[in-house]
Chain A
Amino acid sequence: MSSNSSIANSEMPENLMYQLIALRDELNRLVLSVDSIGKIFDDMTLTLPKFDPSELGFIRTVSWLYGLYYEAGKIGVNFLIRYLEVYDLDADGQKKDHFKLVQRMRTFIVHNLDLSARHDQQIAASCQQWFKPRCGSSDPNIEEHWRSLLLALLADSIQFLKTLRDCVKKIEVDESMEIVFQQWALKLKRYHPPHAFDSLIPSILDDIGRAQMDPMRLRSKYYADWHRALECLNDDYIFEDEARKLIEFSILSETNQTLPISGKDIIENLNVPAGPKVGELLETAKQIYAVSRCEKLVLLRKLKEFLEGAGPELSYSNSLKSISVKYGNIIVAS
């Protein structure tokens, strides 16, 4: 977004932040009348950033904006961004770029990047590309640099929220307003915030006898996976049922025992080439071990029997399916 730094420099960051908050509140008011939506931005527990010194001000502002866009406004902002194209409000793509930049900037300033990894390289490059025209350096290191960047970021975010506001106003007068709000409401309905899981985890832990496990640690570790899995479900799912399945699966993954053999043992002892088949055999070993714990050599022998039982005339894929059932029966019988 072309934040005009010469204009922005004449401003105080506090003034820009007030404008930003005013816009956030205006956006919330605009959709307040739609019952099914309520408001775009939830309340934030993050305190407003302090801007002095500018470097810290910039870092705090990035975190605050991340909280605003990606947490408090997670559904609404994401939803409205899709409509910028429909109403031709972001022809040059700068608003979307700002939205993405806040996320990347947060990663850039908060995490230790691995610059040999392409993903991290891209994050660093896009942040540095944003720095350079706004403060004159792609490696800001003096107060002036940081102040310029802080003002530019705030100016960009004001433009971003103004555009979201314009978008809501366009929806309001659109003939298709109803369908748009319907879709928004449905997105909200399918969103399950972390606390929705928090209320389920303790009772599940009790039910399966894992009461000593820390519910918060479990949720922090697996929430992203659970959230993504629920997003992929069709409409007829019942949150409590599906969430329970996901939570229980995660608990069991946490409590799995280490196998007495490794992939290396399979390669060396069973002459299986390195690759997906080793993974398949480890899975089989896991199933065998879960039912009947045994020592390394016994487990390897069982795996070998399993392999030999497959017979040379059958392919791995076919044999694995049929034999694993058969082997499963033997174990159960034993």
Chain B
Amino acid sequence: MNTDNQNLYAHLMSNRPSYLFLGQDYLRLETGIDALLANIVKKYGTSEATRSSASEFSYPALLENCSFEDQEYARNWISNIALRLVSPTWLDVVSNLPWSGVYSSSIDTLLVRAFRNSWRSVQPVFSKKFSQPDPRSRTNLHVTYLFGCIERENEEERSPLNEFDYIRRLPDSTILLSRLKEQTTPFGKIFIEGYRSERDWLTARDLATLALSMDADQIHLFSASEETKSDPMIIRLSKSSRIVLHDESLATFLNQGLTSGQINFEPRKEFRRDGHYITLGVTAVEIPENIWAITNKLATILDDSLFTSPKNLSDEWRYRAFKNFLFESGTRPVWEAYPLGFALERDFEKDLHNYVHNRFKRKSFGSDPIILHGQTGTGKSVALGALAYKIRLEKQYAVLFIERSPYGPIATDLDQFCKWAEDNGFSATLLVWDAMGQIEQYSTLQKYLSGRGRNVVIVGSSYKLDLTDADSESLIFAPPTLSEGESTRFKVLLSKFEPSLGEQLDNLLKKKDNTFLVALYRLLPDTRGQVKYGLQRETGAAEIALKEQASQISPEWTGGALLTAFQKIGFLNQNAFLSDRKKEIGGEIFSDTEELVGLIMVPGRFGLKVPIELVVRTLGSAKAANFHKIFESIDIFRWHSDDQGNLFIGTRHPLEAKLIAQARLGGPKQEVEFAKKLLIEISDSEDRFENTQIQFAADLLRNMGPNGPERKLYANSYEDIADCLLKLRLERGIANPRLMLQEASLLREAVVAIPVVGDEINRRLELLERAADTLRTALKEISANFKTRRLRAMLLVELASTLGTKVRELITNKTDSNSIMETFFEARRVAFEARTLQPEDFFPIDVISWSTKDLIQGAKIDEASRLDIIVDLMSTLETCDEQSMNMRDREIFNKRRVELGNILKNDSLKENALERLEAMGSCAGYYLNALMLSQERSNEPLTDEVLARYTNALNFLQGHIEKIEQDGRCLFLLLRYWWIVNARKPLFGGERQLLPFNRGQWQYLIALLDKLMSLDAVYKTPSNSYLRAIATWSIGYFDDAEELWKDLQRVSESVTGRRRVAKTYVSCNDNGSPILYNGTIEWIAEDGNRGEIFVEGIRQKINFFPKDFGVNEPRDGQAVSNFCISFNYIGPIADPLHHVKQ
């Protein structure tokens, strides 16, 4: 059997880029006649001789021998003929494969039709101007026409019909052809069919330009004609294997692969959009094509096909499958391994499973996400896969699994999946997101989904967290070492593959080695038969590296192992592209090979994968041309592709990368140098891969920053990295706001992390000023719209933090208080601006809190100003909704409250302080007085005695209304106290609360809210708007209320959690009993899951959900009796009485 062909088949079945190039002879292959060309020449040939020999013509000859005077007519005519072309049978065979892309020198659109099918759409590319966000997508195939298309009329897109137009088109075709090289990458191959150099507009010289920029064996030309084979250029290219010539046709080659079982044409499971099922109980529910298509891009849907019954595996194959499981499972779940019982169940998995179940049972979908945390290499990814698998096996819940990737999931698309699941009977969805990310990202998604009423439990993963106040069912720790029970179970598991294996590993298991789980892959020999001769010895170096701590590793071993591996593949001989020439990086000497290793290992230690284009650019194309051979031969590296066909290079496991980086690179300083080498090569905005690279850079910076897993390991280099980003901005013109945010953050952190020494204050202030300027520039760069809202808020928060840090520095430097106050007020103003954009984001509040604390503890300010600032902070904290915070923010929030309490305790109010406050025009004195009267304590039961205190405080505030009516702090306090006194409950004190307000009280509330919201944007919160809408409804102004709810829906779209859909209040009489309504169903959605009721008496249409009422087959006009009306952020909703009574 031909091994070269086997390799080609293996390549075609892999995820590596496979491009098809079709030359202009492709329509002649089947019949010897290009029907399109023949007909064109027949009609437009300039002489009778030409017309009579039409079937012999080539495209180059067409330009010389045909005349198209009326081009528009000619294009129409030719297009019409082209439309009648039928795809040749061989093309039907070739088009079955999931190509990464198709390039062609042909000019008809038959290709678009030929490649479009049930699982693949086709995106034609006629011009260099077409931007390609997903150029390697196999399900949205790009067909690039080097010479444009006959159908197009636009000058940039149409194909030439005379020699001058052809010459004009050449630069564009060259640019488009260069994309083929970029997209193929050193990992890919190009399969050429239908190309004859003497009959094509793409000359042998053009092809040579492409071939010479690529590696040997990357281009394969099929159906090589005698003429093509005798072309001197092609001969030279063939001799150097730049082009490999095949006599047989591509279709014959593929057919032989099919017959011999080396390839198949079945569309891969992930490509198919139809025929996917999830079993619910005993019923298989089909996932609609559109839901599959959008969700499958973001997540693995655990459908029935994922767990097909394991085949009868031979012992050898099971062993190999187990080794493969060890290899792969650190970064992504190997689903087929779970039914085979390959995964060790760790002790914490039981808790994880129980906590998820508790959430499902209690329908606790608005809680914090569950976070599995721990250092890398502790089995978190395997455990999360096992959790997803086990929950799906129960056949009650829909399950999604999101792997770590450069892109976060799209919340709106996940929402659609979860809604579909609920509508089809699944009581809830489990969403497992193994991002090793920050708590915020999980919480934000949880809030978004629960804010849309989705029944979803999110389980995420994170590096080890230090949270003390977290709910015990929200945080699960994955210990680094195996317990006795786990070791015993693991021995039993291993013995199933080879009886002696468990015993052989016993010593290692007993050692409590925290790298054991990762090292096991390297310990096991390739075949089961070798186990009995002992564990892997020849890779002893790897074994040592993974067993010992990095500091104990001899740097030589990795070099030795890699060196051996490189030599094995002939990498370091005279033909190698990467030389062993030494160069200095960060004060250490590295060879080209070691440079490559460093470029992958530094991001790899954080689990990050480097975009292939970035690696190629960083290494330089000459060195990069052959480097893929390393990746093919050494299993420390892994390459990945996403659903859009973007390619990345990563490492097998972050722990391995960390150890190798520590052993080989020499320390954090050198690691930073490698990171900088990558960062400085990030591509500019014209690049089609911008998003991937910017995302990579942002992720790398975040991981190397103080919030990354290594905390402040790289703190000494923060300024250095920021300088690199500045260089990127100024010299390469890449002014991306996300990177500017990171740049500023690093500068600020550089100041925070390094203690003040001597007279460096000016230098420190300079850094902070530079950070602030960077942020201000970034804010100017981005337009203010809904899409940029979050980014703007983040930039503003960072600016506020920078200014707050500056306040701290100024205080330390004992600068005059005016400068300090000025900077503090600017910090606070900026933080409030950020809060206006993201009302439920806690970061701005935190910045205000710690900068206020710094100020009042360190700055020399008078007592009245000091109290005013304290009151400001108190009021600000009161506007926060603790329930909507994630566990970490909640912990910080409570810490800030305690700090504030301590400050107040130590700060007895001096007698004349209130007078002086009033004298300086501050209402803080009234606020403090009211506070003292109420003696407010959080969570205090509202007894008569307590209510009497609140009434006193309320009377006090109302008695001074003329003084305080322009002060938001006091008015908000008044609102809260008024509510407590009249409702006898705190604001938002639970679900389905009854409000015994009379008309006058509702009107008072409206006036109070209007006044409050007019004072400052800070008070235009969704919760205040919600109260305003309920009050307006309650006094009968239904249309006005509807308008308010419409605004509220829009505003709360991205900012609120479960409260958005929670029915917080119920319409009731002034005696506190719910009002009962009757009505008829006005409208029902096609899926029968929601509708509207026309309510008698008030003559309004309100939302209702038939399931709430147990109505199985709702129909228009059907009467619904004795229901209540509850309110959430979406509007009034019909609510069964028993729900309200509960």
Contacts and interface: CB of A to CB of B under 8 A. Distances in A.
Contacts of B259: 225, 229
B461 to A, nearest CB: 31
Interface string B842-864: 00000000000000000000000
Interface in B489-542: 526-527, 529-530
Interface in A206-261: 225, 228-229, 231-236
Contacts of A236: 32
State which size class the interface on A falls in.
35 or more
A268 interface: yes
Interface string B231-259: 00000000000000000010110110001
A86 B305 CA distance: 37
Interface string B1-27: 101101100100000000000000000
Contact of B254 (A174, A232, A320): A232
Interface in A281-334: 283, 312-315, 317, 320-321
A12 interface: no
Given A179-B81, A267-B316, A232 B90 contact: yes
Contacts of B929: none
A271 B90 contact: no
Contact of B35 (A182, A264, A276, A313): A182
Given A179-B84, A235-B29, A236-B32, A264 B255 contact: no
B304 to A, nearest CB: 11
A175 B73 CA distance: 14
B87 interface: yes
Contact of B314 (A186, A231, A264): A264
B813 interface: no
Contacts of A182: 33, 35
A180 interface: yes
A232 B1 contact: no
Contacts of B347: none
B129 interface: no
B529 A267 contact: yes
Contact of A273 (B29, B35, B527): B527
B785 interface: no
Nearest to A225: B259
A51 interface: no
A233 B53 CA distance: 25
Given A232-B249, A264-B314, A118 B223 contact: no
Contacts of B81: 176, 179
B31 interface: yes
A176 B80 contact: yes
Given A118-B275, A225-B259, A273 B320 contact: yes
Interface string B356-391: 000000000000000000000000000000000000
A253 B61 CA distance: 47
Given A182-B35, A267-B529, A274-B314, A321 B90 contact: no
B35 A190 contact: no
A190 B90 CA distance: 12
Contact of B633 (A272, A276, A315): A315
A70 interface: no
B86 interface: yes
Given A232-B89, A274-B316, A183 B255 contact: no
B961 interface: no
A321 B217 CA distance: 15
A190 B251 CA distance: 15
Interface in B293-324: 305, 309, 314, 316-317, 319-320
Contacts of B633: 315
Nearest to A324: B3
Identify the interface centre among B36, B83, B530: most chain A CB within 10 Å of its CB. Answer: B83
A108 interface: no
A271 B7 CA distance: 22
Contacts of B89: 187, 190, 231-232
Contact of A231 (B36, B93, B526, B530): B93
A36 interface: no
Contacts of B1099: none
Contact of B10 (A271, A273, A276): A276
Contacts of A179: 35-36, 39, 81, 84-85
B223 A234 contact: yes
A232 B31 contact: no
Contacts of A271: 526-527, 529-530
Nearest to A272: B527
Given A273-B526, A276-B6, A317-B3, A229 B35 contact: no
A82 interface: yes
Contacts of A267: 316, 527, 529
A118 B305 contact: yes
A264 B272 CA distance: 35
Nearest to A228: B255
B568 interface: yes
B617 interface: no
B320 A275 contact: yes
A122 B570 contact: no
Contact of B7 (A268, A313, A317): A317
Contacts of A175: 80
Given A229-B252, A267-B527, A186 B80 contact: no
Contacts of A79: 86
Interface in A170-219: 174-176, 178-180, 182-183, 186-187, 189-190
A215 B4 CA distance: 34
Interface in B24-52: 28-33, 35-36, 39
Contacts of B3: 280, 317, 320-321
Contacts of B909: none
Contacts of A315: 568-569, 633
Given A179-B35, A228-B255, A234-B30, A86 B526 contact: no
A320 B2 CA distance: 9
Given A190-B89, A232-B255, A234-B30, A280 B1 contact: yes
A86 B83 contact: yes
B4 A321 contact: yes
A178 B54 CA distance: 14
Nearest to B567: A313
Contacts of A183: 31, 35, 84-86
Nearest to B35: A179
Interface in A153-181: 174-176, 178-180
Contact of B84 (A86, A116, A312, A320): A86
A122 B266 CA distance: 13
Contacts of B28: 235
Nearest to A236: B32
Interface string B739-780: 000000000000000000000000000000000000000000
Interface string A134-156: 00000000000000000000000
Contacts of A116: 309
Interface string B544-585: 000000000000000000000001111000000000000000
Nearest to A316: B3
B30 A280 contact: no
B529 A232 contact: no
Nearest to B632: A315
A186 B529 contact: no
Given A178-B39, A273-B316, A276-B10, 15 more contacts: A174-B84, A175-B80, A179-B39, A179-B81, A183-B84, A187-B86, A189-B31, A190-B89, A231-B251, A232-B93, A233-B251, A235-B28, A235-B30, A236-B32, A276-B6
Interface of A: 79, 82-83, 86, 116, 118, 121-122, 174-176, 178-180, 182-183, 186-187, 189-190, 225, 228-229, 231-236, 264, 267-268, 271-276, 280, 283, 312-315, 317, 320-321
10 contacts: A176-B39, A176-B81, A176-B84, A179-B36, A183-B84, A186-B30, A233-B251, A234-B30, A236-B32, A317-B3
Q: Enumerate the 8 nearest inter-chain pairs by beta-carbon distance, A residue then B residue, closest first.
A: A232-B251, A235-B32, A186-B31, A232-B252, A283-B1, A176-B84, A231-B89, A274-B316
